[in-house]
Amino acid sequence: MNTNSALIVPAKPAAATNAAPLTFHQELKPLIAIPNVWLWVIWIASILALCAIAWLAWRYWRKKAAAVLAVPPVPPHVRARRALEAALALLSDPKAFSIAVSGALRGYLEERFDFHAPERTTEEFLLELQGTNLLTIEQKLSLGDFLENCDLIKFAKYEPTETELRALHAAALKLVNETEPHWAPAEIQSSVAAAPAPAAP
């Protein structure tokens, strides 16, 4: 038996010798996002605060609107009487007095009958007045005399007496009293007007 036979080791294939060694990589795990609790608290608190401010502002606005609606507007004839009453303090200054009483009456007529009194001259206003049926003929004549007398004092430097100034005031007040709106039914107004005056004691 031959014991000197050579041991034949098979050669490695070329593909095996050139192959890259196997390596093992441990994959990186994604970072875990830890929520900031205080940031959420701040956001929620801010939103609640804004809601509270908006609610308080709405309540305040609603209360003011209700207060405004609760106060009834002052009627034009009431404002005109107040303005005429205040004009009496200017009796010592005829020009200022005539401006005050004519302004009070013009403003009243503009609101009451939708006249364009303050923006127009006396002639323009009287011309417009002739085409309306809102005033009687006597009222139109009285108003024309009133405005012309006021213009004499304002522009012609006429010096009236106190009696004349008080007559102007009375004419303006009379026109306001005659043309103010009456809310009572017509039949009630007529019955009141026809009722005899109480006898003097």
pLDDT in tens, 56-75: 888 888 777 666 555 568 88
Residues 6+ positions from 1 with CB-CB distance below 8 Å: none
Residues 65 and 80 in one domain: no
pLDDT tens track for 92-149: 999 999 999 999 998 898 888 877 655 677 788 778 777 778 888 898 889 889 999 9
Query: Do 123 and 55 share a structural domain?
Result: no
Same-domain pairing of 138 and 81: yes
pTM recorded for the entire structure = 0.55
Structural domain of 134: 76-180
Does one domain contain both 59 and 152? no
In a domain, 159, yes or no: yes
> Residues 83, 48: one domain?
no
Res 186 pLDDT > 50: no
Residues with Cβ within 8 Å of 34's Cβ and at least 6 positions away in sequence, in order, are none
Task: Supply the DSSP string of 64-103, one letter for each residue.
Answer: HHHHHHHSPPPPHHHHHHHHHHHHGGGTTSHHHHHHHHHH
Give ∠ CA 139-144-148 in degrees, rounded to 5.
150
